[in-house]
Structure 1
């Protein structure tokens, strides 16, 4: 057979083989590896089901386990996008981990692991939400779990207003061994208390705290959630959700006022002032109307709740200010004895009138005392780079979310948020960073 005939025969064989191939196999896109989408159910389990975790007494205990779930899902998926500040946060976590060498007791190791778990979980929540938004998951599906968390927190706040003396041991607390249950911090985070009540005050008042152990926790979470809710109002298209959020905001002011958290007012005021100055500097005044509306509603509520009189009475009949300044001085003096790594964890729990509760009553003091000066500097650098990146936001939703790192920094001298509250903060930050880093799907379908 001639070479020409051989080539013709081969051509027919190839043609027949190609003809029998399934349609689409030769399409290059058919062989691309498709990265699976991240599910939203972990956020639902964390934020939407928060009332269940609180009733069981495991709200703070179960939180780090959700971090493990997020880590597994991100690892299995692969191709994880890293938001601004990721490397700084990993360096910060490394320093915190090394500071564990300063711990002296087994119970201290357990509490350190719990707080470290809250830190890691907050970081993973931010990364997870960032990737959800960047891969096109609808905005409504991402924000709904945290919006339900907000509504539940407002409901718990009113529960504290209406039933201020409610206080029972949780099922989890009952099952704990006496040695662990007697640890003051464990007792606080596993008890079911509607309010925080200072018996040593000359003018005691029940201040809403549920679902958190301390009323300062409630105020800190409120600082972070209000800008988030305002951001969602600009994009939510479902009428029932919009009406619910619009009603919940003025309703939340009453329990917020009754917490008497001065740092909460300062944090929110600084966040709003930051946004107004930015907008005015760019020649825009679109925020003036909603801010004026919020201030008006707040002023109307003060006609029924004498919040300023209550705060004045509290500061005059307690030693809150004196105790705090004395605590800060003692904490700084102690830090000078271990400036690089601190002491691993606070000396005692976050409560006024405790004997030398060093490393409490503020995030900055907890970081300095527990993990040292380098960790504290790294922590503030994280929020600096995040704030700078989020300042490029141009949408109304992105604008409100850009206030979160500013509010977080402002409240650090007054309140600590090394708890599930930090995950609340980084959920909003992750969404805000996704908004400025690329197009996201804001459809509420």
Structure 2
């Protein structure tokens, strides 16, 4: 926590405190203020290749505010404070992430060594596993945070804000035909937990196994085994696919003894898993594609709505009339299943289409795809891990929203690749 790198330590190592207070994913916005001050004092500021695309993405989001009052056909809801709050919070996050990347890239290796930053991400992985186990064994755990208590009711009760400031251990959904708790602590949604645990696992392996001594490697084995429990109970198919692709990536990109070790570890893990009670739960989940119809409805109507403002989008999400089962909108006493997620809530790509139009989606893809292209030849452990995270970002954009905490981890991984070049 000493020296100019303290904001990152406060963000990653201190994240459980932020979550307990009710800030959670908003902590990066708060810590971007001291990061910006440090950057200002260090002028001139170094810039990474590709950051111009993120700056254009940010500029496009500013322009999209012009369409906040517009309503595409088939949607409902008026132009009010809720829409403005959602827009403002996303804008603050995009600006904060830009500040964070510049801050990380302008710290020297002496001020913040690469391995120290990787191990900070590993500490957050440990926090994530603990939160996942809390969600599995104590799914009803929740409380009113200090931030929630002091905010005015009209802000605190906004659904988007409520997910960010109200600490809960799990989301309970009828995925398997009965109430199933899906871990989400210490993040804002169950899907955010799934995206984050996969990214953090990659950096945990690098920091604790690849660069770890005997004791760290022993801890890595135990914690990875424990992580399997909430990973399976999350019922998160996107996460499972991401981990499978990560294993395939390693087999393809590493060579020699490392490849044999990866294959052996994968085979042993698969055998232990098949013999464990967790395998039955995975089979149940694959047999019940609970969210397919919901996702298909949301994505198709998001694309239809985006066609009415393809250049600048609508600045924020919109609510579609009806859902995949009925034309009725909203939950009622006689129809508890009638509600539906907002348009753009089933993946960052679809969110960008509805909020910023086609240019926003293209800029997002170009930013992360460009990082893969530039750093593909970096075969160091950090280079291999960073490129893998960039590839997962391009996969997850179809099924996961990047807001709020996932984008923070994506951009920290981008900064690690940038710092690794020098």
Range of TM-score over shorter length: 0.7 to 0.9
- Larger mean CA deviation between 266-275 and 132-141 belongs to 132-141
Aligned with 2:21 (options 56, 61, 79): 56
Contact 1:167 1:191 in 2 (8 A): yes
1:396 aligned onto 2:367: no
Matching residue within 145, 155, 166 for 1:170: 145
Q: Which runs of 4+ in 1 moved over 6 A?
A: none
Query: Given the superposition, is the C-alpha separation of residues 301 and 365 from structure 1 closer, same or farther in structure 2, using an over 3 Å criterion?
Result: same
Q: How do 1:12-23 residues align onto structure 2 when only pairs under 5 Å count?
A: none
Q: Provide the rounded CA distance (Å) in 2 between the counterparts of 1:133 and 1:402.
A: 22
Is 1:247 matched with 2:222? yes
Distance 1:178 1:72 in 2: 32
Structure 2 Cα separation of the partners of residues 130 and 97 of structure 1: 25
> Could you tell me how far apart the structure 1 residues matched to 2:242 and 2:250 are?
13
**1:123 shift after superposition:** 3.0
Does residue 79 (structure 1) correspond to residue 44 (structure 2)? The answer is: yes
Secondary structure of 2:143 counterpart: strand
Residue of 313, 319, 327 corresponding to 1:342: 313
After TM superposition, the score normalised by the length of structure 2 is 0.86
| Alignment pair present for 1:95 and 2:60 | yes
Unaligned stretches of 5+ residues in structure 2: 70-79, 321-329, 331-336
Structure 1: gaps (5+ residues):
1-36, 439-445
Task: Give the distance between the partners of 1:236 and 1:353, measured in 2 at CA.
Answer: 51
State which structure, 1 or 2, has the greater radius of gyration over its C-alpha atoms. 1
Q: Does the Cα contact within 8 Å between 1:167 and 1:194 map onto a contact in 2?
A: yes
Per-residue deviation, 1:298: 4.8
Relative contact order, CA 8 A, sep 6+: which one is greater?
1
User: Matches of residues 27-426 of structure 1 in structure 2 within 5 Å?
Assistant: 39-104=4-69, 105-132=80-107, 134=109, 137-198=112-173, 202-233=177-208, 236-237=211-212, 240-279=215-254, 284=256, 286-307=258-279, 309-314=280-285, 319-347=290-318, 354-355=339-340, 357-426=342-411
When normalised by structure 1's length, the TM-score is 0.82
Provide, for residues 116-160 of structure 1, a one-character-per-residue CA deviation record: whole Å limited to 9, x for no partner.
222233333333333335567333432333222111111111111
Deviations, residues 317-375 of structure 1 (Å, cap 9, x unaligned): 574111111111111111111111111112259x9963352111111111111111001
Structure 2 contact 122–201 (Cα < 8 Å) conserved: no
**Secondary structure of 2:173 counterpart:** coil
Shifted more, 140-149 versus 127-136: the winner is 127-136
Residues of 2 paired with 1:238 and 1:278: CA distance? 24
The separation in 2 between residues aligned to 1:374 and 1:113, in whole angstroms, is 20
Contact conserved, 2:12 with 2:124, CA < 8 A, in 1?
yes
- In structure 2, the CA distance between the partners of 1:243 and 1:128, relative to structure 1 (3 Å rule), is farther
After TM superposition, give the deviation of residue 97 of structure 1 in Å. Answer: 1.6
Give 1:407 shift.
Answer: 0.8
Secondary structure, in 3 states, of the residue corresponding to 1:156?
helix
- Taking the aligned partners of 1:70 and 1:287, their CA distance within structure 2 comes to 40
Show the counterpart of 2:75.
none
Paired residues of 1:348 and 1:360 also in contact (CA < 8 A): no
CA distance in 2, matches of 1:108, 1:64: 19
1:214-235, Cα deviation, whole Å (9 max, x unpaired):
1111000012112212222355
Which secondary structure state, in structure 1, belongs to the residue aligned with residue 187 of structure 2? coil
- Taking only aligned residues, the RMSD between alpha carbons, in angstroms, comes to 2.6
Q: Which residue of 2 aligns with 1:30?
A: none
Count of paired positions: 396
